[in-house]
């Protein structure tokens, strides 16, 4: 129905306009024909241009296995002709409206929350978001209950300046509500200095099964002492390589600056990451190393890192749990908490807030929620901005601190963060991620 309206209403307006113009203007048919011819030439030239750049990646040319990866069909990239916004300008806002109240809220070193927002204490409440990391698989099914359980297990407490508001150690985030405005305050807790080196249970120790040389070691501390590189996976759901170039120009520019630095290597996977219904297959390959796990209870890759002394963390900005969603059936016990076994930190709960993720009706519609065709907003900012907040905090917390003598500070880390802006029908929303992603890449490059 929407598609029908989007095509036929404008088409009929154009036809009516042509009819009126023809009856009003002399020689209109001749002018019109010239305009059509000029338009057709311009379109053909543009298409030719887009065809030539289609295969040109960040290095400016198709690289790596050119024979294998070259597109074998007749490629006419019509989509490149559409200006930004052409496919969803009618749908709604592509930016987030600021909240009315300016809220200044921080959690200090002692876990105390401090809020200033210019109204009396009686107007302030704090929603303490639950720690999802310890939840068993059965509680993390995003089709039926993950968001609802987050809401149910949120504790709402009054806030005032007379007594200190101290958070529990496992709390990663709270929502501070001040009058009609709200904000999210997150922190990485417990702090890295209080995090013990993880000892995997013998029955699921991933070091016993060899997954190649890099994953082979005798003890967690041995790996930690070798100081392997830190690892960050940023997963952009449902975005092809070419669409990344098309809609995320600032990020592409930031990536391009990386290739000139000494220790960087940039690889683009031509045609391997084209969009199809391949999320399960692609992410299983990435996170499990196999599409069809040969064994039951296969642990995702963050377990392999954690078992070897890495600090592991995951951000799921779509109120989702990858392990449950894509590999949940592989586990014998739905009581098993995969995240508790495999991650030191997890942030999901802020992205399950009903202001973004509908708690009644269809959560996956076109105008609200994690798959919507308009800007994904939460409390006046893009949803991904809250995810990046925590990502920056993780990096700051886990970065080696030279002044402090604690050796735990020097453990390597492995972080995954998932973004769903590409998961929608118009291909436009991913644009909203560009400046934040570019800023993050530049921050990593310069740090
Ligand atoms: C989480 O893991 C810790 C340490 O491995 C364990 O002591 C605790 O019981 C686990 N919690 C849950 C809910 O599984
Ligand atoms: C302030 O809040 C605390 C709980 O957070 C409560 O125990 C206390 O009575 C409150 N004080 C006032 C003056 O409202
Ligand atoms: C801390 O945890 C206890 C027990 O789970 C809970 O009753 C209390 O409300 C929590 N406090 C805060 C500030 O989250
Ligand atoms: C892993 O280490 C063990 C002993 O240190 C060795 O026997 C084994 O061959 C190694 N496996 C791989 C894949 O390197
Ligand atoms: C996943 O991969 C398998 C094996 O490569 C293939 O048979 C299957 O069609 C793929 N699934 C989808 C949804 O593409």
Q: For residue 127, how far is its CA from the centre of ligand 1 (angstroms)? A: 24
* List of E strands, 228-350: 231-236, 311-316, 345-347
Strands 345-347 and 311-316: parallel
For the stretch 354-378, pLDDT in tens is 999 999 999 999 999 999 999 999 9
Query: Which residue's C-alpha comes closest to atom 5 of ligand 1?
Result: 341
Shared domain for 196 and 76, answered yes or no, is: no
Mean residue pLDDT across the chain? 89
Shared domain for 76 and 219, answered yes or no, is: no
Ligand 1 pocket, residue 337 CB under 6 Å: yes
pLDDT for res 71: 63
Ligand 2 pocket, residue 157 CB under 6 Å: yes
Ligand 1 pocket, residue 103 CB under 6 Å: no
- % of the chain beyond a pLDDT of 90: 67
Q: Probe ligand 3: pick from 159, 168, 169, 170, max atoms within 8 Å of CB?
A: 168
Ligand 5 pocket, residue 281 CB under 6 Å: yes
Q: For residue 281, how far is its CA from the centre of ligand 5 (angstroms)? A: 6
For the stretch 38-56, pLDDT in tens is 999 999 999 999 988 888 8
Shared domain for 274 and 417, answered yes or no, is: yes
For the stretch 188-205, pLDDT in tens is 999 999 998 999 999 999
Shared domain for 220 and 353, answered yes or no, is: yes
Q: Given a cut of 80, is residue 217 above it in pLDDT?
A: no
Q: For residue 168, how far is its CA from the centre of ligand 3 (angstroms)? A: 6
What is the number of the ligand closest to the CA of 160? 2
CB 175 within 8 A of CB 356: no
pLDDT for res 213: 46
User: 373 or 258: which carries more pLDDT confidence?
Assistant: 373
Domain count, the chain: 2
Shared domain for 441 and 317, answered yes or no, is: yes
- Relative to the CA of 167, which ligand 3 atom is closest? 13
Is 408 a member of any domain? yes
pLDDT for res 63: 63
CB 157 within 8 A of CB 358: no
Shared domain for 243 and 361, answered yes or no, is: yes
Q: Given a cut of 90, is residue 392 above it in pLDDT?
A: yes
| Closest listed residue to residue 379, CA positions, set 125, 176, 187 | 176
Domain boundary among 83, 114, 130: 83
Is 416 a member of any domain? yes
- Relative to the CA of 280, which ligand 5 atom is closest? 13
- Relative to the CA of 165, which ligand 3 atom is closest? 13
pLDDT for res 221: 59
pLDDT for res 270: 78
- Of 158-167, 253-262, 409-418, the one with minimum mean pLDDT is 253-262
Q: Probe ligand 2: pick from 111, 163, 166, 167, max atoms within 8 Å of CB?
A: 163
Q: Given a cut of 50, is residue 212 above it in pLDDT?
A: no
pLDDT class of 279 with cuts at 50, 70, 90: confident
- % of the chain beyond a pLDDT of 70: 89
d(CA 51, CA 291): 33
Shared domain for 249 and 379, answered yes or no, is: yes
What is the number of the ligand closest to the CA of 213? 4
Q: Which two tokens stand for residue 369?
A: 């929620």
pLDDT for res 401: 66
Give mean pLDDT, residues 77-92: 93
Shared domain for 233 and 359, answered yes or no, is: yes
Shared domain for 210 and 345, answered yes or no, is: yes
Q: For residue 330, how far is its CA from the centre of ligand 4 (angstroms)? A: 27
Shared domain for 69 and 209, answered yes or no, is: no
d(CA 108, CA 329): 41
Query: Which residue's C-alpha comes closest to atom 3 of ligand 3?
Result: 168
Ligand 2 pocket, residue 158 CB under 6 Å: yes
Is 160 a member of any domain? no
Give mean pLDDT, residues 296-324: 95
Give the largest Cα separation in the chain, rounded: 87
Give mean pLDDT, residues 409-415: 86
- Relative to the CA of 155, which ligand 3 atom is closest? 9
d(CA 198, CA 344): 9
DSSP 3-state of 20: helix
Give mean pLDDT, residues 11-19: 89
Is 159 a member of any domain? no
Q: Given a cut of 50, is residue 340 above it in pLDDT?
A: yes
∠ CA 380-112-114 to the nearest 5 degrees? 45
Q: Given a cut of 60, is residue 27 above it in pLDDT?
A: yes
Is 378 a member of any domain? yes
Is 185 a member of any domain? no
Shared domain for 252 and 377, answered yes or no, is: yes
Is 134 a member of any domain? no
Which H or E element spans position 126?
strand 124-128
User: 408 or 237: which carries more pLDDT confidence?
Assistant: 237
Query: Which residue's C-alpha comes closest to atom 6 of ligand 1?
Result: 340
Is 181 a member of any domain? no
pLDDT for res 273: 61
Q: Which two tokens stand for residue 200?
A: 């995997």
Domain boundary among 58, 83, 108: 83
What is the number of the ligand closest to the CA of 290? 5
Shared domain for 436 and 301, answered yes or no, is: yes
Domain boundary among 83, 103, 134: 83
Q: What range defines the domain where residue 48 resides?
A: 2-83
Give mean pLDDT, residues 421-434: 96
Ligand 5 pocket, residue 291 CB under 6 Å: yes
Ligand 5 pocket, residue 277 CB under 6 Å: yes
């Amino acid at each position: 129905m929407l598609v029908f309206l989007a095509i036929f209403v404008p088409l009929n307006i154009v036809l009516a306009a042509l009819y009126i113009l023809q009856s009003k203007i002399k020689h209109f048919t001749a002018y019109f024909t010239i305009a059509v011819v000029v338009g057709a030439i311009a379109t053909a030239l543009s298409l030719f241009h887009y065809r030539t750049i289609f295969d040109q990646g960040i290095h400016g040319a198709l690289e790596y296995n050119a024979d294998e990866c070259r597109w074998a069909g007749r490629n006419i990239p019509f989509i490149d002709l559409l200006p930004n916004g052409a496919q969803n300008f009618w749908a709604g806002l592509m930016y987030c409206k600021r909240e009315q109240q300016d809220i200044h809220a921080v959690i200090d070193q002692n876990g105390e929350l401090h809020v200033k927002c210019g109204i009396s204490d009686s107007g302030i409440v704090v929603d303490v978001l639950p720690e999802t990391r310890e939840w068993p698989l059965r509680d993390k099914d995003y089709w039926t209950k993950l968001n609802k359980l987050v809401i149910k297990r949120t504790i709402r407490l009054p806030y005032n300046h007379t007594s200190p508001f101290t958070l529990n150690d496992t709390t990663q985030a709270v929502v501070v509500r001040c009058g009609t405005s709200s904000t999210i305050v997150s922190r990485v807790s417990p702090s890295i200095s209080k995090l013990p080196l993880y000892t995997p249970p013998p029955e699921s120790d991933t070091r016993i099964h060899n997954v190649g040389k890099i994953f082979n070691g005798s003890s967690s501390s041995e790996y930690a002492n070798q100081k392997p590189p830190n690892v960050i996976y940023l997963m952009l759901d449902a975005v092809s390589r070419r669409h990344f170039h098309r809609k995320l120009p600032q990020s592409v520019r930031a990536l391009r600056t990386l290739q000139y630095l000494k220790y960087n290597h940039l690889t683009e996977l031509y045609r391997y990451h084209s969009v199809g219904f391949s999320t399960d297959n692609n992410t299983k390959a990435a996170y499990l190393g196999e599409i069809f796990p040969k064994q039951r209870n296969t642990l995702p890759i963050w377990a392999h890192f954690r078992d070897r002394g890495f600090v592991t963390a995951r951000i799921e900005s779509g109120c989702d749990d990858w392990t449950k969603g894509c590999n949940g059936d592989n586990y014998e016990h739905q009581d098993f908490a995969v995240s508790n076994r495999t991650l030191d930190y997890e942030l999901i709960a802020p992205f399950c807030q009903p202001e973004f993720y509908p708690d009644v009706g269809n959560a996956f519609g076109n105008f609200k929620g994690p798959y919507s065709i308009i800007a994904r907003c939460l409390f006046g900012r893009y949803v991904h901005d809250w995810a990046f907040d925590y990502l920056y905090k993780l990096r700051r917390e886990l970065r080696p601190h030279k002044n402090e003598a604690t050796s735990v500070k020097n453990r390597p880390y492995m972080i995954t963060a998932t973004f769903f802006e590409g998961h929608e029908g118009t291909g436009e929303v991913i644009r909203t991620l560009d400046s934040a992603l570019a800023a993050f890449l530049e921050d990593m490059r310069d740090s």
